[in-house]
Amino acid sequence: MQKSKFFILMFVSSLVFSCDDKRVFDEYKSVSGAWDKDSVVAFTVTAPDTTNAYNLYVNLRNTNDYKYSNLFLIVELNYPNGKAIKDTLNYTMTRPDGSFLGTGFTDVKENKLWYKGYEAPFMFEESGDYTINIQQAMRQNGMVNGIQKLEGITDVGFRVEQALTN
């Protein structure tokens, strides 16, 4: 009986850990439910290699306190040699009926948003550490100044996955 419990436990454990075998990097940082417009969330990723393709994602967790149907982000990718690429990105956060996109059974929704790799394979061109800086850039319609404290975002994350090869 003890032996069969051990094998069942090993089988279940292997299922849990093999479900995310594409993950290379996955980290979240809390913004405590209100993301200040001057707060930059930074991640450091060591390039896994320079020969394979990867998909890069911005991950977000939001609550029902998030009041908007979209989200503007400024994402900066800094290469080890000092090169930097800065993108202003617009993500849809709700369906047409106003319900939040993302996964989750409670009032917290988790969103996996494409950053790099969806149009063309992303390759880490250099060995070393890459820094990713993420900042919210939301504004009220017709206003010049950004929203100082963006409510409803609880966590910001960054994820790197191995791209599927055909």
Q: Determine, yes or no, domain membership for 8.
A: no
Lowest mean pLDDT among 13-22, 25-34, 69-78, 151-160: 13-22
Q: What is the CATH number of the domain that holds 151?
A: 2.60.120
Residue-level pLDDT at 166? 53
Q: Is the CB of residue 31 less than 8 Å from the CB of residue 149?
A: no
Question: pLDDT per residue over 30-45, tens digit each?
Answer: 997 689 999 999 999 9
Backbone angles phi, psi at 78, to 5 degrees: -105, 120
Q: Determine, yes or no, domain membership for 51.
A: yes
Residue 5 has pLDDT above 90, yes or no: no
Q: Determine, yes or no, domain membership for 12.
A: no
Residue-level pLDDT at 106? 81
Question: pLDDT per residue over 105-135, tens digit each?
Answer: 888 999 999 999 988 889 999 999 999 999 9
Residue-level pLDDT at 23? 86
Transcribe 74-114 into DSSP letters. Answer: EEEEE-TTS-EEEEEEEEE-B-TTS-B-SB-SSS-EEEEEE
**Number of domains within the chain:** 1
Q: Determine, yes or no, domain membership for 9.
A: no
Residue 11 has pLDDT above 60, yes or no: no
Q: Determine, yes or no, domain membership for 7.
A: no
The encoded tokens of residue 48 equal 């896994």
Q: The domain containing residue 90 runs over which residues?
A: 22-162
Residue-level pLDDT at 9? 43
Q: Determine, yes or no, domain membership for 3.
A: no
Q: Determine, yes or no, domain membership for 27.
A: yes
Q: How far is Cα 131 from Cα 122, in angstroms, rounded to an integer? A: 15
Question: pLDDT per residue over 49-103, tens digit each?
Answer: 999 999 999 999 999 999 999 999 999 999 999 999 999 999 999 899 988 888 8
Q: Determine, yes or no, domain membership for 5.
A: no
Please give the residue that has the higher pLDDT: either 78 or 12. Answer: 78
